[in-house]
Amino acid sequence: MDGAKQELILIVDDHPTNLKMLFSFLKSYGFKVLVANDGESAIDKLQEVSPDLILLDIMMPGIDGFETCQRLKASAVTKDIPVIFMTALTDSENKVRGLSLGAVDYITKPFQQDEVLARVRLHLKMRDLTKALEAQNLVLKQEIAARMGAEAGLKKLAQDLEERVKDRTAELTHALQDLQKTQVQLLEREEKLGRIAFQDSLTDLPNRAWFMNRLQQVIHIAREHPDYLYAVLFIDLDRFKVVNDSLGHLLGDELLKSVSRKLQACLRHTDTVARFGGDEFVILLEDIKDIDEAIKVADRIQKEVRLPFKLNEYEVFTEVSIGIILSTSGYDRPEDVLRDADIAMYHAKAQGKGRYEVFDPAMQTLAMARLQLENDLRRAIKSLPSSRGAIDTQEFCLYYQPIVSLSTGQLNGFEALVRWRHPSKGLIFPDLFIPVAEETKLIDDLGWWILQEACYQISLWQQQFPRKLPVAINVNFSAVQLKQMELINRIKQILEKTDIPICCLKLEITESCLLETLGWEEKILKQLKALGIKLCIDDFGTGYSSLSRLHEFPIDTLKIDRSFVSRIGVDKDDIQIVQTIVTLARSRGMDLVAEGIETPFQLQKLRELGCDFGQGYLFSKPVDSEIATQLLAQEQVFGHCYFPSAFHNDSNT
């Protein structure tokens, strides 16, 4: 056997001898051999087998060797099979034609066995090589294709990468811009927060937080340098609420802004003013020589603030109360400095507003006492019964001061005056606790109790003295009470419950309260009047400016303030004032009551001036309900006259 692989050879020849001879010869050399007698059967066979070589005779019946070769080369299946023609030695024309038709070689007849074997082997080898080459070619082509593919891929990759780099750069640029924007926003927010944290939004002044910080620093400096002095001025607008309520919050805000500008204008550049909220301002004077310097600033501020403020078409007047504290007390904490400055300011207010007070440690004691009083008052008022309970267990009671007719000396009615029977401090007078009750709004509950108690007293006296004209009681009503929403309804309820004639109830409202009266209270006063309740202006003459507004209110009675009465006989001008008030009351058809009559001389003068009624120690101090009842009984029985004996003759003649 020649070769590991048995190669297949197709012999096409019409000569049986040729066939036989070639068949056995090639077989003997280890080839597989197939035979076909003519071209057509050869082509048929080639549908099923694929020989490695074809030996093709030229001269055959049917289609000759050339035609067969042509057909083989035309078919994709057979075109690559090498074809060797078999031809006669002399037939050179045919040899050339055969080669041109795609044959690889020719063998001359009669056959030379060596030549046949050599040519067959050569062409099989060539065919193998061709195949191998083709295979390699294919691989190469594939490789080339793969490489080209890879290259295209690389190119695409590079392009993609480039594009991605572009996109990414754009994205990053965007992100960066966003980041920068966010950063700017953050910075703005931070700044805004800083502003909110340390600046008052209305006035743009530093706020409490800022001030406390600065004060802490200044306290530190003062501790390090014993000669270093600073002062704090605690400032509160007087009657700001009235402006706010009457002119509205917008103008209230404008006033605060104007005040803040004025305050700034009063300071050196090293001093600072902060707004603490509401109508409170605080000033820090750094590195000053002495207290006089702080007082000078306070004076300047008060002078400036007293000048009218122009807000829209309004001229608004205001004043400030100032508490001053000097650093000599050696403070450690800003809170303590402010507490004491606030206490001093509170004192300034209590002393009559529109003024300053320098802190003194005694003030703190007073402030503590006030706090204690406030707590006690809260407790006492909270334990008041909602309806009339056992009187003796209550800490509050009403005293009654007779109001006397100055023409007859007869009892005309009473003024109810509240007293506080404090469990440890004894009897406390209203001057001490009513202002506290007003400030803390505790007056609301206390006021209702007082009104109810007075009405019960009227109904009680009516039952006890049925034949006497019903006794009237004047009840003091504070400005705070006038602001209550349910006022009219609750008064109606009390009147219904106690079933007293409405004309027996008179409400006393201070002149200063009337001064601060706004639309709402004016309406309330008119409603009260419509109910049939009489209205009386208390302490008349002390709030002189309300004279002009007097006609706006439905007033029945004016009460001349005690300060005028007490100076009758001392100061000629005061008689003049009383005379004016009497004339005013007459012209408006109002009654007149003079309070605080202590001497027969005052009584005589008031009678001469034509004053209708009077009240005062000369007739009687305020007395408890038991004594007041006795006074009524005496009156009923004896027709008691309150005038001192010197006047009896007078009134009889």
User: Residues in the site for ligand C2E, rule: CB under 6 A?
Assistant: 401, 416-418, 429-431, 434, 450, 476, 478, 508, 538-539, 562, 595-598, 615-617, 622
Question: What are the beta bridge partners of residue 399?
Answer: 417
Assign residue 204 a region (left: φ > 0; alpha: ψ between -120 and 50; beta: otherwise).
Answer: left
417 binds, among ligand C2E, Ca ion, none (CB under 5 to 8 A by kind): ligand C2E
Q: Which helix (H) or strand (E) holds 105?
A: strand 105-109
Least separation in angstroms between residue 538's CB and Ca ion is 4
Binding partner of 598, given ligand C2E, Ca ion, none, CB within 5-8 angstroms per partner class: ligand C2E
* Paired tokens of 436: 């506290």
Tokens of 15: 């000569």
Nearest residue to 498 via CA among 388, 418, 397: 388
> Are residues 632 and 465 in contact, defined by beta-carbon separation less than 8 angstroms?
yes
Contacting positions for Ca ion (CB under 5 A):
476, 508, 538-539, 595
With beta carbons less than 8 A apart as the criterion, state whether 574 and 595 touch: no
Are 37 and 14 in contact by the 8 Å Cβ rule? The answer is: yes
- Residue 65 partner contact from Ca ion, ligand C2E, none using kind-dependent CB cut-offs of 5 to 8 Å: none
Q: Which of Ca ion, ligand C2E, none does residue 229 bind to, with CB < 5 to 8 Å depending on kind?
A: none
User: 512 or 579, CB closer to ligand C2E?
Assistant: 512
Q: Cβ 213 to Ca ion, closest distance in Å? A: 48
| Distant-in-sequence, close-in-space partners of 224: CB < 8 Å, separation ≥ 6 | none
Kindly state the smallest distance separating residue 308's Cβ from ligand C2E, in Å: 30
Residue 438 CB, nearest approach to ligand C2E (Å): 8
What SS3 class is residue 376? Answer: helix
Q: Which is nearer to ligand C2E, 321 or 510 (CB)?
A: 510
Q: Name the binder of 123 from ligand C2E, Ca ion, none, CB < 5-8 A by kind.
A: none
Report in angstroms how near the CB of residue 514 gets to Ca ion at its nearest. Answer: 13
Cis amide linkage into residue 385, ω under 30° from 0: no
Q: Which of 331, 345, 327, 346 is nearest to 288 (CA)?
A: 327
Q: Residue 434 binds which entry of ligand C2E, Ca ion, none, with Cβ cut-offs from 5 to 8 Å by kind? A: ligand C2E
Nearer residue to ligand C2E within complex by CB, 56 or 482: 482
Structure tokens at 217: 């620093």
Q: Which does 87 bind (CB under 5 to 8 A by kind): Ca ion, ligand C2E, none?
A: none
Q: Which does 617 bind (CB under 5 to 8 A by kind): ligand C2E, Ca ion, none?
A: ligand C2E
Give whichever of 52 and 595 is closer to Ca ion, judged by the CB atom. 595
Q: Which is nearer to Ca ion, 346 or 540 (CB)?
A: 540
Tokens 């603490």 correspond to 276
* Unique residue bearing structure tokens 């009390």: 494
> Can you read off the two tokens belonging to residue 617?
């120690």
Residue closer to Ca ion (CB basis): 326 or 555: 555
By a kind-dependent CB cut-off of 5 to 8 A, residue 402 interacts, out of ligand C2E, Ca ion, none, with none
- Yes or no: say if 565 and 533 are a contact pair by the CB < 8 Å rule: no
* Minimal distance, residue 333 CB to ligand C2E, in Å: 38
Rounded CA separation 477/506 (Å): 10
Cα–Cα nearest to 592, from 552, 621, 617, 561 = 561
Beta carbon of residue 597, minimum distance to ligand C2E (angstroms, whole number): 6
Q: How far is the CB of 642 from ligand C2E (least distance, A)?
A: 12
Query: Mapping DSSP to helix (H, G, I), strand (E, B) and coil, where does residue 617 land?
Result: coil
The residues pairing with 33 across neighbouring beta strands, listed in sequence order, are: 9
Q: Which of 48, 46, 26 is nearest to 36 (CA)?
A: 46
One-letter amino acid at 458 equals I
User: Considering beta carbons, is residue 541 or 596 the nearer one to ligand C2E?
Assistant: 596
As beta bridge partners, residue 592 has: 558
Nearer Cβ to Ca ion (105/539): 539
Q: With respect to Ca ion, which residue has the nearer C-beta, 68 or 476? A: 476
Comparing CB distances to Ca ion, the nearer of 345 and 568 is 568
Question: What is the closest distance, in whole angstroms, from the C-beta atom of residue 605 to ligand C2E in the complex?
Answer: 15
The CB-of-417 to ligand C2E minimum distance in angstroms stands at 4
Q: Which does 358 bind (CB under 5 to 8 A by kind): Ca ion, ligand C2E, none?
A: none
